[in-house]
Amino acid sequence: MTAEIIVVTSGKGGVGKTTTSASLATGLAMAGKKVAVIDFDVGLRNLDLIMGCERRVVYDFVNVVNGEATIKQALIKDKRHDNLFVLAASQTRDKDALTQEGVEKVLDDLSNDGFDYVVCDSPAGIEKGAHLAMYFADHAVVVVNPEVSSVRDSDRILGLLSSKTRRAERGEGAITQHLLLTRYNPGRVALGEMLSVKDVEEILGISVVGVIPESENVLAASNAGVPVILDDNSHAGQAYRDTVARILGEERPLRFTEVARKGFLQRVFGG
Amino acid sequence: MTEALHSKMDTSDACDLRFGQVGIACVRVRRVDAAALCEELERRVRSAPQLFSRAAVVLDLSHLLDLPDDGTVDALLEAVRSAGMLPVGLAYGTSATEALAQRMGLPLIAKFRAAYEPAEGGSIAPPAPAPAAAPAPAPVREPIHAAPPAGPALGAQHHEGTVRSGQQVYARDRDLVVTGAIANGAEVIADGSIHVYGGLRGRAMAGAQGDEKARIFVSDFRAELVAIAGHYRVFEQIPKDLEGQAVQCWLDGEKLMIARL
């Protein structure tokens, strides 16, 4: 039994990769899977904050790659789920501290430790850090915002995923590509200020695995160190639950992609 | 503030220094024989004088087993000159090439066509036809490849699926059929015609070796640029009557025509 490796990537920065990685890993853990989530953004470590474990980081990814700590020492157990572990990035190093062999060994060790899924939170860009995050992946979640620059960068990433990964190089078949549209605002789409789901699917030629609505809860959850998927009252949290279910093979209709009609009371009192 | 004022007043800079992309031909030397090289190039200049006469070329020595000595390189450069072309530099190679370029007082030009170069290599590379009647220097990065002697007809090259931003597909000496879309920032190039059965949002360049009969067929037209035999059109705004339509592009003399199918 080998672990399935999922890279969360986008090319462009600030589109919601880390938010997605945290929620995806948590969602998979909630489904009973044993999950590790790794922050590949060496030098700009964020995942630990979103996961709410920043004060428990002792050893990090670079320590493990350099053999200064074992993977067991460096994995931080999530305080909410026993089967979810975080491997933090190093804040004091840069991306050159990672090597392909080192990353491969860490992933192999996790696989041998009985992990079902390893979620790799890629840094922005298409340079070394992003390359290493995607190289060993079996699945990719490409995070895209409904705007043209993000869509173009995602297109570039989709191209790299189909050529610059181990599976592609070994001819083991394409890695599974999931397109995740985040920060979606149906109201602005209706006004023509934002690309629609259909626009993005048409430009990129693949269909979305989920649409996460723009939501204030995402920022609040990030600041609180709680992955937004745990906020069952927020649309973003529910949309992430749907997305994780779809990645696990379930069929669910898209939600929150139409302008919500406000009821009378909501119109009067806001909401 | 004073700095800004000063720069505003000072309009007499001696020059602007910019990097830009220019079309340039690469002469890949396959054997050290100045006379044969001169003859071959002369033949090509004669066949398309408006294209090759006084064309700037880069000498690529990387396909020779051993780097020739300075005198031989001089003879090769002279052969290029006497054929009517203007050698402007050496193609990037090993550190020995670098040293050679320094001794010759020539610049080293990076290996700019690597993405298109098939493993088996080509023969002497003619430049892509220069865009005629163009309002601006061509942004077209044409593939620089040799047309080998006419051989048996090759079938079209097929590309399954989408050509993503940043990717290039080149069909050498033949037509290209793309069954997916071509994204913004992607390029498809063929020495023959190009058929696109998805959306064309990027660039398509047919007749890259100068075949003016090449055509481009697109089932969903949203191109950034189309070119045939170096004649090109860029689309800052896609004409409303063509956008999303099935179109074909062809050359009528020097004019690149586009019409709905």
pLDDT value for B41:
87
Locate the chain A residue with the closest alpha carbon to B201.
A203
Q: Which of B226, B223, B213 is nearest to B245 (CA)?
A: B223
Q: What is the DSSP secondary structure assignment for residue A260, as one 8-state letter?
A: P
Tell me whether A156 touches chain B (CB under 8 Å).
yes
Q: Which of A27, A22, A26, A21 is nearest to A8 (CA)?
A: A21
Tell me: the pLDDT tens digits for A108-117? Answer: 999 999 999 9
pLDDT value for B197:
95
**Smallest Cα distance from B116 to chain A, Å:** 16
| Contact status, residue A61 vs residue A90, Cβ threshold 8 Å | yes
Tell me whether A270 touches chain B (CB under 8 Å).
no
- Would you call A156 and B201 a contact, using CB atoms and an 8 Å cutoff? no
- Would you call B180 and A205 a contact, using CB atoms and an 8 Å cutoff? yes
Instruction: State ipTM.
Output: 0.71
Give exposure, A118-141, as e/b (b: 16+ Cβ within 10 Å): bbbbbbbbbebbbbbbbbbbbbbb
Tell me: the pLDDT tens digits for A142-195? Answer: 999 999 999 999 999 999 999 999 999 998 888 999 999 999 999 999 999 999
Among B161, B162, B185, the residue with its CB nearest the CB of A152 is B185
Structure tokens at A68: 């200064």
Which residues in chain B touch residue A160, judged by CB atoms under 8 angstroms apart?
A: 166
CA distances from B143 to A268, B38, B81 (A): 64, 23, 23
Which domains are assigned to chain B? 25-109 (3.30.70.260), 131-139+156-260 (2.160.20.70)
Which residues in chain B touch residue A205, judged by CB atoms under 8 angstroms apart?
A: 161-162, 180-181, 183, 198
Q: In what order do the strands lie in the sheet with B86-91?
A: B25-28, B56-60, B86-91, B108-109
Placement of tokens 């695995």 in the chain: A209
| Contact status, residue B229 vs residue B214, Cβ threshold 8 Å | yes
**B213 pLDDT tier (thresholds 50, 70, 90):** very high
Tell me whether A202 touches chain B (CB under 8 Å).
yes
Tell me whether B201 touches chain A (CB under 8 Å).
yes
**Smallest Cα distance from A138 to chain B, Å:** 20
Among A156, A202, A205, the residue with its CB nearest the CB of B166 is A156
Q: Which DSSP string do the residues of A229-257 spell out, in sequence order?
A: GG-TTSHHHHHHHHHHHHHTT------S-
* The dihedral formed by the CA atoms of B78, B81, B85 and B87, expressed in degrees to the nearest 10: 50
Region of residue A31 (left: phi > 0; alpha: psi -120 to 50; beta: else):
alpha
CA distances from A117 to A19, A111, A180, B62 (A): 17, 8, 18, 47
Structure tokens at B239: 């004409």
- Would you call B162 and A152 a contact, using CB atoms and an 8 Å cutoff? no
SS3 A181: strand
Tell me: the pLDDT tens digits for A218-234? Answer: 999 999 999 999 999 99
| Contact status, residue A28 vs residue A117, Cβ threshold 8 Å | yes
Q: Which DSSP string do the residues of A50-86 spell out, in sequence order?
A: HHT-GGG--S-HHHHHTTSS-HHHHPEEPSS-TTEEE
pLDDT value for B146:
43
| Contact status, residue B78 vs residue B71, Cβ threshold 8 Å | no
SS3 A176: strand
The Cα A112–Cα B170 span in angstroms is: 43
**B137 pLDDT tier (thresholds 50, 70, 90):** very low
How large a percentage of chain A has pLDDT more than 70? 96
Placement of tokens 């189309």 in the chain: B226
pTM of full prediction above 0.90 = no
pLDDT value for B120:
38
**Smallest Cα distance from B166 to chain A, Å:** 6
**Smallest Cα distance from B252 to chain A, Å:** 32
